[in-house]
Amino acid sequence: MTKSGLVTPALSKVIVDIVLGYSGGIDSQTTAQQLIAAGHRVIALTIETIDDREMMLRAEESARNMNIEWLGYDAKELFEREIIDYFCHSYSIGHTPAPCTLCNPKIKWKILSEVADKLGIEYIATGHYVNIERHNDKYYIAKGIDSNKDQSYYLWGLEQDILRRAITPMGQRIKSEIKLSYSDKRESMSICFVRGLHYTEFLTSRGISMPSGDIVDSMGNICGSHNGISRYTIGQRRGKGIPEGMRVIDIDTKHNRLIVGDIQRLYKHKLYVEQCNIVDEKELLAADDITIKIRGIGRNPELAVKVERCRCGYVVTSPDAAWAPAKGQPLVFYRNNLVIGGGIVVDFE
């Protein structure tokens, strides 16, 4: 692989206009400051995905205080259709959704790009803690230098037409150092649209039914009852009806059943992935140093995997078993610090 280094047009001496995804929080403010310090003109774009007038006013005031142009974009209907409906449907069929990984390519970065096009501006930027690198005329998301804040796992769905024009200065920053300059250090860590509710409360508020049903072992023997499959995820060991020492190892939506077993049943060596976005398929299939992540934070396999083509996507064989993969979870392929691509887990064994 020929290394071309970080893609950093914002650090060049040529003054350019840049549309920045802007929430008014620490990360977007710091990104704006860096771009301005480099001599560029920043247009701050705040995308309203849920009804949050306070956030919009705060972002507008923050941009005004920085003396940069501010634009608001109403994406509530699109977000409802593409993200919230997907989130609710996923749980209703026993899948584990990852709304942030879908929101990035379908909402945030897509809108940034469209607005930039309308304004005749080439470059877009965000405050994500990732880098972008170019190798052999292809663009890759790369891990940020702050391992505690790296967000590369959530951006596997970004395609080349987005990456070629994107700037991510925060990939070279350490969050703990940045926070020292701000009095308000609050961060949002939850799913934005549930507004502080537990996800099951949110699902109920959206009319998702949760009928009770049987909990069975791998032989089909009834050993308890659940209060709605949407309340459970793979690997769960606490919750109504789960026997002591057992975990949820599968969700049978057809028969409205939970299957439980011991923890060893959660380790899977083979994962099937569909709905993929791959930078270079030849590289993915030929390289012997591909690793994977099936969750942004937590247990992930560490050894290199084998990737092969199958009918609708890829089958991934890992000598280092993946713990508790769930249908609907993203699986992201890495080669050292580069994101080679990703997709959605549809099955495992």
> Would you please indicate which residues are annotated as catalytic (active-site) residues?
103, 192
290 within 8 A of 284, measured Cβ to Cβ = yes
Q: How far is CA 341 from CA 99, 147, 155, 301, 347, in A?
A: 17, 19, 9, 16, 18
Question: Which residues are registered as beta bridge partners of 344?
Answer: 274, 330
- Show the tokens assigned to 29: 């403010």
CA distance 229 to 283: 39
CA distance 239 to 122: 51
- Any alpha helices (H) in the chain, and if so which ranges? 26-37, 53-65, 76-79, 85-92, 99-103, 109-119, 160-163, 175-179, 199-205, 281-286
> Can you give the length of the chain in residues?
349
CA distance 30 to 32: 5
Q: What are phi and psi of 262, to 5 degrees?
A: -80, 170
SS3 breakdown of the chain: % helix, strand, coil, rounded to 5?
Answer: 30, 30, 40
CA distance 321 to 324: 9
Q: Computed over its alpha carbons, how large is the radius of gyration of the chain?
A: 22
> Per-residue DSSP letters for 222-261?
EEEEES-GGG--TT---STTPPTT-EEEEEETTTTEEEEE
208 within 8 A of 299, measured Cβ to Cβ = no
321 within 8 A of 142, measured Cβ to Cβ = no
